[in-house]
């Protein structure tokens, strides 16, 4: 059976809605009428029609709370990373309501089409409402913000967006205040917050921080806060030339397509003496982690699990081997 492309599914939502209950029970009366939003959710591949918030991670009493969009790489491909991220953020005083965990923001399409670059990200922003929206993936963040930039650049795109969002039961938000999760944590003294809760350190670990080509999506203060925190835990940071080069995402993640640069990034970090490559983007993490050989690759927040007493260093800092393409070193 041929799978219908998502864009085609979007255009066929009207026909889905026409399969409604007829007066008197004739025709497809056994099937309840779908609202526009329910039909839209089915188009987006949702398994449950009311899954905007599937789990709340409770932080300390009085902690800040945000709507967390983890991105499909963390929620589907590397679910254990999502759980660790939420627990560590909660430990640092940031409670998160997880939203639409299995839905893609559209950032995996390169180049983006109308669905992936406009409709998919606008839907997520609308779901967040007036709450603070946060993501731990720079590719997701860039696409969420990019939808509004594309509409600002082309009034016709905004008109089409308004029509398409209405069809699927959503609206075009006025704007997005979406932030990277680390931006929110770095608003205070991140190093001090970690030190206050730490029961150990990372002394002797040589690490390279890899920001990738989306570093500009981070707040200006965030990279310095990340590096300051690592140094305060005893990490020896090494610099390497490829720290801000593109990993090839999303082309680098999809097998068989040119553009993947993950191996060159890891080789550069290894040549600089790094034992570990620390990432701040879910897509970059997925690309680098599937490469063979080289340093261990781990997200910044997950690395904090060791000094926070949530994981043992020798177990946590190991190469990840997953059924979804994670690397298997010979």
Q: What CATH number did the domain enclosing 243 receive?
A: 3.40.50
Task: Clarify whether residues 136 and 87 are in a common domain.
Answer: yes
| Cα within 13 Å of Cα(122), Cβ side | 29
In this predicted structure, the answer to whether residue 295 has a pLDDT above a threshold of 70 is yes
CA distance 184 to 321: 30
Other Cβ atoms less than 10 A from the Cβ of 221: the count is: 13
Percent of the chain beyond pLDDT 90? 51
Q: How confident is the model at residue 112 (pLDDT cuts 50, 70, 90)?
A: confident
Give the distance between the most distant pair of CA atoms in the chain.
Answer: 75
In this predicted structure, the answer to whether residue 317 has a pLDDT above a threshold of 90 is no
In this predicted structure, the answer to whether residue 74 has a pLDDT above a threshold of 90 is no
CA distance 53 to 100: 7
In a domain, 325, yes or no: no
Q: How many residues does the chain have?
A: 330
Which of 181, 199, 230 lies at the terminal end of a domain, its last residue? Answer: 181
Q: How confident is the model at residue 251 (pLDDT cuts 50, 70, 90)?
A: low
Task: Clarify whether residues 109 and 217 are in a common domain.
Answer: no
pLDDT tens, residue by residue, 228-248: 999 999 999 999 999 999 888
Which of 143, 164, 181 lies at the terminal end of a domain, its last residue? Answer: 181
Task: Clarify whether residues 131 and 192 are in a common domain.
Answer: no
Task: Clarify whether residues 172 and 230 are in a common domain.
Answer: no
Task: Clarify whether residues 171 and 206 are in a common domain.
Answer: no
Task: Clarify whether residues 201 and 312 are in a common domain.
Answer: yes
Q: φ, ψ for residue 155 (rounded to 5)?
A: -55, -30
Task: Clarify whether residues 171 and 209 are in a common domain.
Answer: no
Distance, first Cα to last Cα, the chain: 37
Q: What CATH number did the domain enclosing 177 receive?
A: 1.20.1050.140
In a domain, 111, yes or no: yes
Residue-range definition of the domain harbouring residue 116: 52-181
Segment 291-317 shows an average pLDDT of: 90
Strand pairing report for 53-57 and 94-99: antiparallel
Match 């989306």 to its residue by tokens.
214
- Position 113 scores a pLDDT of 87
Nearest to 272 by CA among 322, 192, 208: 208
In a domain, 4, yes or no: no
């Amino acid at each position: 059976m041929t799978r219908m492309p998502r864009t085609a599914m979007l255009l066929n939502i009207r026909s889905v809605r026409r399969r409604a209950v007829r007066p008197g029970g004739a025709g497809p009366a056994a099937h309840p009428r779908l609202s526009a939003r329910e039909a839209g959710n089915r188009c987006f591949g949702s398994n449950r029609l009311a899954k905007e918030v599937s789990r709340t991670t409770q932080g300390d009493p009085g902690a800040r709370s945000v709507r967390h969009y983890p991105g499909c790489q963390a929620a589907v491909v590397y679910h254990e990373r999502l759980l660790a991220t939420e627990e560590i953020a909660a430990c640092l005083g940031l409670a998160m309501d997880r939203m639409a965990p299995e839905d893609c923001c559209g950032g995996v399409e390169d180049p983006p089409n109308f669905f992936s670059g406009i409709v998919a990200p606008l839907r997520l922003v609308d779901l967040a409402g007036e709450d603070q929206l946060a993501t731990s993936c720079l590719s997701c963040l860039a696409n969420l913000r990019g939808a509004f930039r594309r509409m600002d650049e082309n009034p016709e795109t905004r008109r089409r967006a308004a029509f398409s969002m209405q069809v699927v039961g959503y609206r075009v938000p006025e704007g997005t205040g979406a932030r990277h999760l680390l931006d929110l944590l770095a608003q205070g003294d991140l190093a001090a917050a970690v030190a206050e809760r730490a029961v150990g350190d990372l002394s002797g670990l040589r690490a390279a921080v890899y920001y990738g080509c989306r570093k500009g999506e981070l707040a200006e203060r965030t990279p310095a806060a990340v590096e300051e925190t690592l140094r305060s835990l005893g990490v020896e940071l090494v610099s390497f030339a490829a720290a801000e080069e593109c990993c090839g995402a999303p082309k680098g993640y999809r097998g068989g397509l040119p553009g993947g640069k993950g191996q060159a990034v890891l080789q550069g970090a290894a040549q600089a003496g790094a034992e570990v490559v620390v990432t701040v983007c879910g897509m970059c993490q997925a690309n680098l982690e599937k490469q063979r050989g080289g340093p261990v690759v781990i997200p910044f927040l997950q690395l904090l699990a060791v000094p926070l007493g949530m994981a043992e260093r020798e177990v946590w800092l190991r190469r990840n081997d997953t059924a979804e393409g994670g690397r298997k070193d010979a």
